[in-house]
Structures are given as C-alpha cells and as structure tokens.
Amino acid sequence: MPLIYKPYQATLANKEGQKLYYPRLVKFGKMVNTQKMAELIAEKASLTAGDVHNVIRNLMSVMREQLLNSRTVRLEGLGTFTMIAKAGGKGVELESKVSSSQITSLRCQFTPEYTRAANGSATRALTTGVEFVHIKDVAGSFVADDAIDKDPDDALVYGLAFSRCNIVLSYIKKGSDKENELYYLFKILNAKILPYMLDEPNEYKKNDRYIDIDHSVYKPFSQYDLMRYRLCRYRFLLETVIESKTVYKDEFLMRQYMAILLEHRTRKTFSGKKYSRSIIRNYLLEQMDELISDFPFVVQLDVIDTIKLAENYIEKFALIYGKFASIKSNETDFMLKRELFLSVPSSGHEDEAFKAIFKNATQTEVDNILSERNLDKDRYFKTRNVLCEKCAEKDICLEIFRTAKK
C-alpha cells in the first residue's frame, strides 16, 4: 500500500494573501501496537506471535539498557538510535561548573539508515521506493471533492478501493490450536463470512490428507528414510521419493539447519578440549564463511543469528566443567538425525511412541517395511505431530494449519 495524501489548506495566508494548499499524509485505522506487530511478523516467520512479542519486548529492554549506558544503537536496515541531552539555555561561564543539573530534557533521537551515492546524494532505507497516491485515486469518483478536506472514513476508502478489484479473499480461522482474528481488511470491508461448501463435482477433493500414486515409488532406502516414513508418510513421499532429500525453503528452518551444522563441526573439532568463547567464536565465523558458499542467500543478519544459535546450544548442552564432552559413537548417530530432522528425542525423552519413530533399524527391517509391495498400496496419509513446525514441506502440506479438533 503506498502513502496516501490529501490536499490541506494552510490556515495562514502568505505575503500575497493566499491560503495555499499542500499535500498531507492520511493515516488509516488504529495505531499498530506491539502485539499487532508481533502477529504480522509471525505470519512471515516460523514463530508464534508470542515468541515474536517476547523478542520485541527484549529488544526494547536491551536497547534501553544500551542507550542509557552512553551507547548508540544501530539496527541495520532501519537506522540509528542515540540519546540527546539539552540544557535549555542554562549555560555556565566555566567548564568546571558544568553539571547534570543543567540538563532540562533528554530524548532519544532516531536517524533513518541511509546510503550515499557517488554524487553525494543520500538515500534512506525507510523511504526507498516509496509511492504517493492521491486519496481520490484510491476511492475514485465515490468520494466527493468536498469530502476530501475532511478526515476520510477508513472503511469507506479501503472498502471502495478493494471492492473494485475482482478478487476473492480468504483466511485461516484457526491454526496451532489458536483462534485467529479476522484480518483487518475483512473488518473494514464489513465482509460476510460464509463457510466453505464443497460442491458435488469436487467431492473427490473432500479428503486431502493422502495421495494416491499410480506408479511404483520403490528404490533403495536407508534407515533414516524409514524414520521419515514412520514420522509422516506424506513427508516421506515428498522428501525421500520426490526430492530425494530435505530441501528447506523457510528462512527460520534454514538458519536452524546451518546452526546445527556449525555446532556439530565445532563439537567434532574440539572434542575433549577446553572451551574458550573467543576461540570458538572465531572458528564459527570461519566455518560460516565456508557454509555461505553453499547458502548464497545468507545475509549478515542471518550470519549473526546463526552463530548465536550455535553458541547457545554448545554452551548449554556440549560442555562439561568447561570442556567439550568427548563424542561417542551413539552421539554421531544422534547428530546425523538432528541434521536430517532438526529435532529428535534424546535418550531421556518420556514419549516412547515418539522415540520409537527414530529407533535405528537394520537394512533387512528397512527392506521389509519399505518394500515395493507395501509402498504400492500406501496412500501416504499426512500425520500431524510435534515436528510439523520443523518440516520443510509444511507450506505444501498445510497440515500444521488444520484445526486439530472440531
């Protein structure tokens, strides 16, 4: 949505006695608060609104702490924050007389981030590519000229604009056991919500929890393919049979995957050695440089987040009395499972059924279960489980968004 403006007439006349008109930006709807920001960010990431809200609150707390510690805070892509003090004309004649009692106001100054071109002009990141649209171009002929001078009704302007588009809108009412609120657009359109009705010709689409395959999918499988089959047969079909590997398409999952790779490389290199944060940080940076060649999409912010994830896991789980724990044979197998599934139950996990999914199997067991005969009869049903949020196919499967109980 571009920035919308309307004409505004000055209250004071100029030297020629004219009250000139100027553009004034129009604001719509309620102010976007922290909770709303968290919900909007959660829609773009693999996090819950609560997780994002917690991060934002911690960001504000840390920023305040750093700013009041005489530091400047820069958020790349956004801008710089710094504290500014004013004395309000309360100057003193001698340098030695300067004191904090002279400060009359303290404010936080925000400077949007900018880049400077060769010709000396500056481009600010926040306003790059901004477009301006006259309010009449949004509401068209439905808004009278004399109404432009008044504050427009949000529903009127938005409603008239979108009602002229030949589109159908929908939303997910319930996901992850949480009731979602209708999108703001539906509110301002005063839309009438109708339940989805399956018509007779499309009756075959009623059950989308499985897939029928009309040709053989058999090929040599490993015990890790069997684990994927136990976990979710739909996921097995997509990852093992069709793609032949796990392909992460979600930025959050890709960062987790890279963090696990970094952590495992570090544990193998420093197995049994003393932990030094500075040495480990340098090693992680070196390894991250190598990974970037395989992940060209990674930006600097991803690098920082990924290294921090790896550091946190190492300090929490990989150290014993300040030293790296020696890696045993069973841990190597556990590491491989983590790289394939991002999360697997540890030996102390209480859910026996979940542990059984990741139980190792002989090649004979794999061949018997994943035989051509069995797979030809399989309908590859979807299975909703605790690892759905870390599944590379969740945006295709959509089972994670399905209502659990009706």
Note whether 382 and 402 are within 8 A (CB).
no
pTM above 0.75? Answer: no
Q: Tens digit of pLDDT for each residue in 93-135?
A: 888 888 888 888 888 998 888 776 566 666 666 777 788 888 7
**Helix runs in 197-276, H state only:** 223-231, 233-235, 251-269
- Parallel, antiparallel, or unpaired for β 73-75 and 323-324? unpaired
In 3D space, the residue among 128, 97, 101, 99 whose CA is nearest the CA of residue 112 turns out to be: 128
- Parallel, antiparallel, or unpaired for β 174-175 and 178-179? antiparallel
**Alpha-carbon 142 to chain mean position:** 38
Q: What average pLDDT does the segment 57-67 reach?
A: 91
Q: Tens digit of pLDDT for each residue in 279-311?
A: 998 999 888 888 877 776 677 667 888 888 899
Phi then psi dihedrals of residue 233, to 5 deg: -70, -30
pLDDT at site 198: 53
Which residue reads 């590379």 in tokens? 392
Q: Tens digit of pLDDT for each residue in 77-93?
A: 888 999 998 887 778 88
In 3D space, the residue among 307, 275, 276 whose CA is nearest the CA of residue 291 turns out to be: 307
Note whether 263 and 318 are within 8 A (CB).
yes
pLDDT at 152 exceeding the cut of 50:
no
Q: Tens digit of pLDDT for each residue in 211-261?
A: 666 666 677 889 999 999 999 988 898 888 888 888 887 778 888 888 999
In the structure encoding, which two tokens stand for residue 322, read together? 């300040």
Q: How far apart are CA 115 and CA 377, in angstroms?
A: 60
